[in-house]
Amino acid sequence: MKFTAPLLFVITITFAAGAARAEEGSESSGRQDPNAYGFGLALTIGEGMYFIHDEVYRGPVSLEIVPSFGWSWFKFDLGLSTTLESIQIAGTHVGNWNFTFRPGGRLTPPMLPLYLRVAFPLQIQRHNFDWGVMFGLGADIHLVGILGLVLEADTTLNNDLSWGSDGVPLEFRAGLSLHF
């Protein structure tokens, strides 16, 4: 099979990261688990795509600041996101400038740098007010001290819990995190 080697590589890296995280947080190392923090802050930049009527369109570049508070397994987030550009996407309003509050939470197993994110985007645009449910899968990888690297992929359902006529959004984010 073609995918056997890449799949084994991904599985090995995932378990190695989990083992490294467990060793970091052990009492014998004298260091605390960077995943078990009180306050955190992440700054990410993202771009995505929209799948609309069998076509793929580039989404606008966005910036998100996510202050968070939590414990080892669960974190409460207040994402503040804004687009940095306004682009025309297939006659819809999804590419227009907007500012979005994204309150929600993350479920973070302590042995892995991965997390599942759920947020409720409250989007303020020139054309209307919209809300939905955002689902994401991400990684917050400890780099050094309080600094981490954040990688995330998200999709958002509208307030009818469907993707609707504006297509299926898929967003990719990368940035830095601080854990206090």
Q: 36-179 domain in CATH 2.40.160.20?
A: yes
Please answer whether residues 35 and 29 qualify as being in contact, where contact means their C-beta atoms are separated by less than 8 angstroms: no
Please answer whether residues 142 and 150 qualify as being in contact, where contact means their C-beta atoms are separated by less than 8 angstroms: no
Asked whether residue 20 carries a pLDDT value surpassing 60, the answer given is: no
Asked whether residue 24 carries a pLDDT value surpassing 50, the answer given is: no
**In Å, how far from its chain's centre is CA 117?**
7
Average pLDDT over residues 87-99: 74
| Band of residue 55 on the pLDDT scale cut at 50, 70, 90 | confident
Per the prediction, the chain carries an average pLDDT of 78
Q: What local confidence, expressed as pLDDT, does residue 118 receive?
A: 96
First to last CA, the chain: 45
Q: What local confidence, expressed as pLDDT, does residue 150 receive?
A: 96
Q: What local confidence, expressed as pLDDT, does residue 160 receive?
A: 63
Domain assignments of the chain as residue spans, ordered by start:
36-179
pLDDT digits (tens, 9 = 90+) for 142-172: 999 999 999 999 998 876 666 666 678 899 9
Asked whether residue 27 carries a pLDDT value surpassing 50, the answer given is: no
At 15, phi and psi to the nearest 5?
-70, -35
pTM of the complete model: 0.72
pLDDT digits (tens, 9 = 90+) for 110-131: 778 899 999 998 877 655 556 7
Q: What local confidence, expressed as pLDDT, does residue 30 receive?
A: 41
Asked whether residue 41 carries a pLDDT value surpassing 80, the answer given is: yes
At 41, phi and psi to the nearest 5?
-150, 130
Asked whether residue 26 carries a pLDDT value surpassing 70, the answer given is: no
- Whole-angstrom Cα distance, residue 166 to residue 125? 15
pLDDT digits (tens, 9 = 90+) for 133-142: 999 999 999 9
